[in-house]
Amino acid sequence: MITEHVAKSARHTTFYLAAGPEDGTPVIFVHGWPELSISWRGQLPVFAGLGFCAIAPDMRGYGRSSTYGAHADYRLEEITADMIELLDHLGAEKAVWIGHDWGAPVVWSLAQHHPDRCLGVANLCVPYLPEAFTPESLKPLVNRDIYPEDRFPVGQWDYFMYYRENFDAACAAFQADPAATVRALFRSGSPDALGQPSRTAAVRANNGWFGGGGAPDLPRDEKVISAADEAAYAASLARNGFFGPDSWYMNGDANAEFASRARDRWRLQMPVHFIHARYDTVCETVVSRLAEPMREWCADLTESIVDSGHWMAQEKPREVNSALAGWLARKLPEVWR
């Protein structure tokens, strides 16, 4: 059974889903853009069944958690504090943290700033960049065989720059039809996309994600989301809007400064697991150099590959669950109860 809960403090409210025994080791799943706690619907009952206390929060700006009106409210320092408050609310000293997309930089930040609250960390798609997940740190790792610098100066990370330069227009395009946006974004991976530039590399040239307007009316990709999932995502995004989710992209300098304060803890000592998505053309980590810093800065790194697109936990839940459970069994056997 998956149950609904709320953790409140003087500074923030976090809605979260929970499954499994309350006295089990917490495994906290952190979603990314533009998702919800339900993004982990394929993981929560499985890890609950393995005896863990499986938790998935709605992140700041999403779902039934607090939303805010300034870009700075969505910097990683604030979001990391939300997660520590959630762990305190659970009455736990430590947890296994698992993130995807923007949830991954949150988990990497927790590992940097609060290693004493981490039994181990695992992330999907977005690898560890100790100096922070920003276009400035990503640009040197771009695969120039696919993204020649004269045509794609920041490679597939061009969409970051579009947010910085055209934030209101970016929000408006997504908000024009949230259901269509969800259907357009949540697509499964394909080997046909390998070796081709991601559409995110030309967002500024195309005047937006969808060529200057709202999302096209595409059929739902049933490999990733059901009708119920689409309705839940769309309702939440229609209610809260995209200001909060999109603001996560607007704090590059603040996030880099936050990471710099943990400079003496950049080398992660706890067990780390990174799962590559073979057909993710934005966070392409199988062929490019994007995962190289992670290999340098993690003392105990395990890597796996799942044949999926970016929405890995939803497209291939069985494979993701197998990889995570195997890593936990090998690297953290003491957390099993």
Catalytic residue list: 101, 310
If we measure between CA atoms, which residue out of 183, 174, 176 comes closest to residue 230?
183
Residue 28, helix vs strand vs coil: strand
Question: What are φ and ψ of residue 91, in 5° steps?
Answer: 75, 25
d(CA 195, CA 161): 23
Sheet containing 3-8: which strands, arranged edge to edge? Answer: 3-8, 13-19, 53-57, 26-30, 95-100, 118-124, 272-277, 301-306
CA angle 194, 180, 182 (to 5 degrees): 60
Tokens of residue 273, six digits: 């697991």
Tell me: cis bond preceding 57? Omega within 30 of 0 counts: no
Q: What amino acid occupies position 282?
A: V
What's the DSSP call for residue 80?
H
Q: For residue 234, with 0-12 CB atoms within 10 Å meaning exposed, 13-18 middle and 19 or more buried, which class applies?
A: middle
